[in-house]
Chain A
């Protein structure tokens, strides 16, 4: 018997504008991360050997251009949104009631902290010009 689909497609969130907006933003950030994260991994883990990188290498070379700082900051924003909204779905599936709101609040707090720390270092790290 051929399969019969009563409805084609997957369910979108209904009845909440903010949930629908998050649903769209998950897909948009996912597309952005497809490009940013895969090229990040290709450059820093395949083309360069991570064993040859250290704090000095980042200050002198990797973050010597505004382009890579902006690239990494955009990736930070998209990855924090995408990863933490994804974890919110996982927590929503696995917990109920007070535990769910407690864990979700903790999640947002951690995301905020990581945004502050990541933004701080990408903005303030001095660009060390190599000698010679």
Chain B
């Protein structure tokens, strides 16, 4: 649907913003509940953190970071266009600028999280 509907960059920017937003909302619900457990049931919190530190948990952490970074950058793009309407003319260029920053920030962060992933594999097999 996303590929065949010829909405162009603006439509993709909107779709990614919504998908990442719903995903972040889901994690926020989980994350507030798990932090509540730090006081109410520290043992349960620690075992949940045990899951976060497994390879699938780290993969989730990485995807969450990507969703947050995209949503944050595209959110800035939305704010720029809403408070400076003439910038809507350059909405595509702004979206490409988002991806440039996304890659520049995402690559070093991915290297660090890649290290966490390797250590989680070592814990799993070691």
Output the nearest chain A residue to B17 by Cβ-Cβ distance.
A86
With contacts A10-B88, A59-B38, A121-B40 known, is A50 near B53, CB below 8 A? yes
Main secondary structure of the interface of B (DSSP, over half): helix
Output the nearest chain B residue to A76 by Cβ-Cβ distance.
B32
Contacts of B33 in A (CB 8 A): 114, 117
Mask: chain B, 14-36; 1 = CB below 8 Å from A; 0 = not: 00001001101100110011011
Contacts of A118 in B (CB 8 A): 32, 35-36
Q: Does A125 contact B (CB under 8 A)?
A: yes
Residues of A within 8 Å of B, CB-based: how many?
Answer: 41
Among B28, B39, B46, B81, the residue within 8 A (CB) of A124 is: B39
Q: Does B100 contact A (CB under 8 A)?
A: no
Output the nearest chain B residue to A114 by Cβ-Cβ distance.
B32
Q: Does B11 contact A (CB under 8 A)?
A: no
With contacts A34-B72, A114-B29 known, is A9 near B116, CB below 8 A? no
With contacts A8-B86, A46-B112, A50-B116 known, is A41 near B79, CB below 8 A? no
Q: Does A51 contact B (CB under 8 A)?
A: yes
With contacts A8-B88, A117-B33 known, is A38 near B75, CB below 8 A? no
Q: Do the beta carbons of B25 and A41 come within 8 Å of each other?
A: no
Mask: chain B, 35-58; 1 = CB below 8 Å from A; 0 = not: 111111011011001001100000
Q: Do the beta carbons of B49 and A49 come within 8 Å of each other?
A: no
With contacts A83-B24, A114-B33 known, is A50 near B49, CB below 8 A? yes
A: residues with CB less than 8 A from B are 5, 8-10, 12, 27, 30-31, 33-34, 37-38, 41, 45-46, 49-51, 53-56, 58-59, 76, 79-80, 83-84, 86-87, 90, 110, 114, 117-118, 120-122, 124-125
